[in-house]
Structure formats: structure tokens, C-alpha cells
Structure 1
Amino acid sequence: MIDELVDPSALAKFLASEAPDYAGDFTVERIGEGQSCLTFLVTGDGWRVVLRRPPRGDLPPSAFDVTREYRVMRALHDHGAPVPVPGPIVLCEDKDVIGAPFYLMESVDGVVVRDTLPDALSSLDDRARMSYQLLDTLVDLHAVDYAAVDLASFGKPAGYLERQLRRMNQLWELARFREQPDIDGVGEWLGANVPEQTEASIVHGDYKLDNVILAPTSPATLVAVVDWEMSTLGDPLADVGWLLYFWLDPGDELFRGPGAGGVTYLEGFPHRADLLRRYAERSGRDVRAIDWYAAMAGWKIAIIMEGSYRRFLGGVTDHPTFARLEEGVPALARRAAMAMRGELRL
């Protein structure tokens, strides 16, 4: 199956030509639990690199764009921005090499926290430390001068929220195949209550705890931000709403579909309101409309996951957790509706 996604002989020829430091025999292993772009560990004699490519199947235009990932990571890395990213190595935009565009980046030694905490990072101090480093790194990202790091043409900051709504409504029409009243209701409310965008920054687009890599030992240290495929220039509060939508407080519904789940309801983790307060204090931004941004986050992920579920049912994607999306997507949409009603205690 892996050979169908990463042709080893074609990749070997590409490496010999474009990245000779990584030429020679290697193995390819699929890693990670992401539900969008596919991630592989490529291991050779004395080296390891990570390859990212889009999933298979008929994909929506501009979705799963690994070239965007590579570009923003290259810019942040080369300009020494205060946002740690894996070192980018090489981008291949020719889909004929392995069947899709792809890029290689350095392998980062660390752990990703999803549904369980590593024993080495399970102390109450480490829980708080990883949380606040996650938040503070987001503040740092939003403070980066995107023009100074050669990303002025990375997106169109003005009208970002309206474009997001228009784009996601288009994707919803492509993904729709069953009744999802919460997606429809939240979408209507978002369109009728768009807040005024007052600032623009680099927006990660999928910023949450399981999209960063932590050093494997205490004290908890954030060593890399990954999964930049949805990054652009836009409203920084979109990232804040996304982070808070996925952040579980004690008493929240513990839904376990793709794109959901987590450990932040456990003792020692700050609550959503604590993170929001810290972001407002450190960034100086007005966050009074945050419920709208959290609702948009839930609406977007529900639409994205419904598209993934449709591809899963059509046999064009094989991620094992997609079978849970029959109930997982409605759960994501219900949480978006809660944010719309101001029930996430932000």
C-alpha cells in the first residue's frame, strides 16, 4: 500500500538528482494520525527525513496544498522567526514523480500529544507548561511581519473572513450527502454575523495541541509547529478560535472522532478562558467576538471531515478512524452550534 503512495524507485531517482545527501537505499514508513495530508518517515543510512504528500482521490481545488506548507515553513525557518518549524529540505511540485506533489523536511525528535500524555510529560507542571508554550508560540506567530519574511504574496489579508465563508460553503456543497442541520444552521448564523477584521497576520489554520511536537523529556518544551497546509494571511483570531474550539475543559463531551479528542480536560491544564485571557493580554487584541471564531472553526472542521467521510465511503481513502465519522461529524457540528450560542465558556 505504501508503494502506491510513495513510489520508492521514483523517489530514489529524485533524491539522487535533487537532494544527493539523501541518496542510496532507504525504507518508507507511514507515520502520524493526521486525517488530511499523508506523512511518511524515510530512513536511510545515517539519516531520516519526513515526506508529506496529499491524500489520494478526487480532491477539492486548493485543498491539501503541500506547496503552501513548504513555502511558509521555508520562510519562517530561513528568516529565523520565533516560531520553531522542522527544517525544510526540498519541494517537488511535479506530481508525476510519485503521483502527487510532495516535500521533504527534517525529522524532529519529539512527541505529539493527542489522546494520552507521555509519562515523561505527565506532571501538573508539564501540563501547564506545554499549554502556555502553545499559546505563547501562537502570539509569536501572529507578531511575525509577514512582509519581512517574504510572505507578502502568501494570501490576501483583506476580506479573509468573507472568503473563508464563501470557500467553505462551496466545499459544503461538494461534501453534502446527508442531512446535517447544525452545519446548515451555524453557516447561516456565521454569514449573518461576520465581525469586522481589524488586523492581519500569518494564520496557521489548524493550530492545536496535536499539531506541535514537544521534546520527549521534561520540562515540556515545544520544538516544532507542523501541519501548515491551511496556512495563509488573514485574521489572527481565526487561529485563536480554532485552538479554543478543540481545547476540552472538564465536563465537555469527550467525542473521539478524527479532528477531535484530547487530554486538556485533565487536571493541570488551563481552561479555555485562561488561554483566551493570556492571548488577549500578550497580543493586545480585542477578543470579544471569539465565540464567532470558535463557531467558524467547528463549522469548518465538520465540513472538512464530512468530505473525508464521503471519500472514505467511496473507497478513495483508507484512514482507519474515518469509519467513526458517521457520528463524529454531527458531534463536531453540535460543538460548533454550542460555540454559536456562547456555551463554550470562553
Structure 2
Amino acid sequence: MARDTERLASGLRAYLDRGRGITGVKTLSAGHSNETYLVEGLQEILRMPPSEEGLLPPYDMARQHAILSAVKAHAPAVPLPGMLELCTDPDVIGDPFFLMECVAGEAFEYVTPDWVKADPVAVPESICRQWFDALIGLHTMPVAHMPAGSRTVEEEAQHWLDVAQSAEATQDLIEVLDTLVKHPPRPSGAPTPVHGDPKHGNCLWHEGRLTAFLDWEMSRISEPMLDLGYILMFHDQGDASLADAGFELPGWWSPERMIGEWEKGVGRSAIDAHRYAVLGQAKVAAIIALGAYLFTSGKTNDARFEAFGAVLPAYTKLLVKRAMVAG
């Protein structure tokens, strides 16, 4: 990340009433979109747009703050930090930003932690239970409390088709997305709040407890099966796996268990679940294609985006196979 953390600290000291307590700003994560910092001395979290070209524009910090505040207030089953200041003036520290409470926890996505492997039945069972309780809590949140902004399933598929085309993606990826635009999966009912990126890698855990559900950039009002399908696609990743840590353990929920628990929790039928999984994987493939394109076109020098190009062929091959099975 290209930001000067001394400038961040200085700007926050001048802006905040409690700013004199700031001893520094520490980089926590670049993510693939927004950037996250620890404001030392206050022990608060600073969230900002990417300092270089990112994967998920636009970066509307006011909207993210509003979504997190709404979910915090109206979906108590979703663990979130308390929301603090929102600043939309880019002159303060270089970009709009918001602050939130710091909560204890660690995330895992690519490597299964020892504390999870220590009891490979009971601990993964507990993880999946808490994770899905949070997801169900979001999908049953009264939609009237969610900030405006919605997409139909067809519009969701069209968005990722547009992303893939802008990234000069291969024809097989474009064909999968084009088919989903022309023949979208059926809705399960009325739209609800959705997360948009509800993978287990966006969960924070502390002493076996889910302490925060993170990364709400893609959240909106839409079809909740988009979230369920997105989670289901992490099963059976094969050699193209990007984030399946934990899935190998005997206590981790199967796709059938995930579907059944979600249906029971939200009172809906998981219609076209396998086609929603295809859409979830096509979405990720479009994001990978965009990251690779940003690097090859010289719009970013982020080495992680360079690595996307090596992953994309196998991932797209797996997507095409999944699409053929789902029909």
C-alpha cells in the first residue's frame, strides 16, 4: 500500500477530538479492495479506499458506513464492530474514510489454523454454525432498514459479464456469464439484504467465537441465494482452489447441510442452488481476470494481481465444468 502512515496519523490527530491519543497508524491489510489500518493509541480501525487501482470500484465509504451501521442495529445475529466517525472530506487524510471499534480475532482462508484442526469435528461444526447463523441473520433482516441500492440476479450476472469483458477475459468465461444473463437462476422469494462476499475468510474468530463479519463492499439488496451459492462454490475446488481451508475436515458442513440449514433458517427453498454456485464462481473468475488485466495493462504493480494470471486458466476450466454439470 502506497500511503504514508505518518500523514494518516497526523491528519487523524488534527481531525479527531481524541486525536492526541494517537501514537501511530499501522498497516493491517491491503485486501483486494479497501485498505485497513490500526490507529495505535486509540486501538481503532481505519478503513479507506485503495491507494492504487483496485478490484471493486466504486469505493463509497459513506455507503459502507451506512450498511454496517444498519446491519449492526437491525441484524443482531451478525457480529460487527461498533461504527465510529465517517469523514467524506478527502483533504483530511487523502481520501474519505471511516473508523470502527477494534475487535479481537483472526481470519483464516488459505491455511487451516491449529486451533481448528485440534478438534476436527466439533470445532468446524461450531464454525459453520456461527457462520451460517450470521448469514441467516442478515437474510432475515427487515429489508426496509437496509440502505438503498439493489440488483436483480440478471443485473448481477450482467455486471460481472461487463467486468469480464472490460478485462479482456477469455471467451469461455464470457460465455458462462452470458448464459447466466440470458437464463438467470430463479429467485427464492423477495429480495433481502445480501453480503456479496460471505466467504469464511471474511470472518474473524477469537477463542472459537465469531467476533466480526468483514468486507461489505459488495453488500446490497438482492437475492439471498447469491450469498448461499457463493459459499457453495468453495466446495470441490480441486487444484484451482483459492480459499478452502477447513473444508477438508470431517466436521465441516457439506453442501447439502449448508443448503438445509439455510432453508430452515430463512424459510425458503434453495432453488437453483447449483446454478447460483456457478454464478458465484463466475463472479470470482471475473474478479481474477480483472486483477490480471490491471497488472498486464500497467495500471497496478501489485504482485498479487500478477499471480492472478497464473491462476485464471485452471479456475476458468473448473468453472466451465461446474456450469456444464449445473446445466
Structure 2 length normalisation: TM-score?
0.88
Question: Given the alignment of the two structures, is residue 292 of structure 1 paired with residue 275 of structure 2, yes or no?
Answer: yes
> In the comparison of the two structures, how many residue pairs are matched?
324
Q: Secondary structure at the match of 1:5?
A: coil
Given the superposition, is the C-alpha separation of residues 244 and 319 from structure 1 closer, same or farther in structure 2, using an over 3 Å criterion?
farther
Which deviates the most, 285-294 or 76-85?
A: 76-85
Given the superposition, is the C-alpha separation of residues 63 and 322 from structure 1 closer, same or farther in structure 2, using an over 3 Å criterion?
same
1:164 alignment counterpart? 156
Which deviates the most, 233-242 or 95-104?
A: 95-104
| Cα deviation digits, residues 239-291 of structure 1 (max 9, x gap) | 00111112x35xx414355xx44331233212222211211222221213112
2:7 alignment counterpart? 9
Q: Secondary structure at the match of 1:31?
A: strand
Which of 201, 204, 213 in structure 1 is aligned with 2:195?
A: 204
Does the 8 Å CA contact 2:202/2:215 hold for their aligned counterparts?
A: yes
Question: Given the alignment of the two structures, is residue 141 of structure 1 paired with residue 129 of structure 2, yes or no?
Answer: no
1:228 alignment counterpart? 216
1:194 alignment counterpart? 184
Mapping 1:85-100, distance limit 5 Å: 85-100=80-95
Which deviates the most, 234-243 or 287-296?
A: 287-296
1:155 alignment counterpart? 149
Does the 8 Å CA contact 1:64/1:230 hold for their aligned counterparts?
A: no
2:316 corresponds to which letter in structure 1?
A: A
Question: Given the alignment of the two structures, is residue 339 of structure 1 paired with residue 322 of structure 2, yes or no?
Answer: yes
2:248 alignment counterpart? 265
Given the superposition, is the C-alpha separation of residues 97 and 329 from structure 1 closer, same or farther in structure 2, using an over 3 Å criterion?
farther
Given the superposition, is the C-alpha separation of residues 33 and 54 from structure 1 closer, same or farther in structure 2, using an over 3 Å criterion?
closer
Does the 8 Å CA contact 1:298/1:335 hold for their aligned counterparts?
A: no
Report the CA distance between 1:15 and its aligned residue: 4.3
Report the CA distance between 1:90 and its aligned residue: 1.4
Which deviates the most, 192-201 or 233-242?
A: 192-201
Which deviates the most, 284-293 or 74-83?
A: 74-83
Does the 8 Å CA contact 1:182/1:330 hold for their aligned counterparts?
A: no
1:214 alignment counterpart? 205
Report the CA distance between 1:58 and its aligned residue: 5.0
Report the CA distance between 1:6 and its aligned residue: 4.7
Does the 8 Å CA contact 1:183/1:302 hold for their aligned counterparts?
A: yes
Report the Cα distance in structure 2 between the residues aligned to 1:318 and 1:102, rounded to whole angstroms: 24
The alignment yields a C-alpha RMSD, in angstroms, of 2.5
Structure 1 length normalisation: TM-score?
0.84
Gap runs ≥5 in structure 2: none
Q: Secondary structure at the match of 2:245?
A: coil
Mapping 1:18-57, distance limit 5 Å: 19-32=16-29, 34-44=31-41, 47-57=42-52
> Identity percentage over the alignment?
26
